[in-house]
Amino acid sequence: MTKKKTKPRRAAARAVSRTPTSHFPKGWDQKRADEVAKYYENQSDEEAIAEMEAGRRGGPFTMMQIPTKLVPEVRKLLAKRAG
C-alpha cells in the first residue's frame, strides 16, 4: 500500500481575511464603545431611571414588543417606508 500525498489546503488559507474586520457597527470604534460603557457604568440608579422615563415620553419613536417570528416582516415594512 502506498501512502497518498496530500495537497495543502490553500482554499482554507485564502478564506482567512488578511485585513482585520471591525466587530463594531459602522461609525463606531473601541474608543466610542469604551466611552459608552464608562457612561453607563458610572450612572446612578436615579439617573438610569430618569433616562429610561425620558425615553418613554413622546418623541418620534415608539418601543414595542412583537413576536420574534414577525421581525423579518416588520423589517421589510420599515425598509419600504424608509424608501
Say how many C-beta atoms besides its own lie within 10 A of residue 43's C-beta.
13
Whole-angstrom Cα Rg for the chain = 24
Ordered by start, the domain boundaries in the chain are 25-82
Q: Which three cell numbers stand for residue 31?
A: 474608543
pLDDT of 32 reads 95
Pairwise CA distance, residues 47 & 9, whole Å: 55
> By the 8 A CB rule, do 56 and 63 touch?
yes
Question: According to the model, what pLDDT value does residue 17 have?
Answer: 53
What cell was used for 73?
Answer: 416582516
What is the reported pLDDT for 13?
52
pLDDT of residue 9: 55
Global pTM? Answer: 0.44
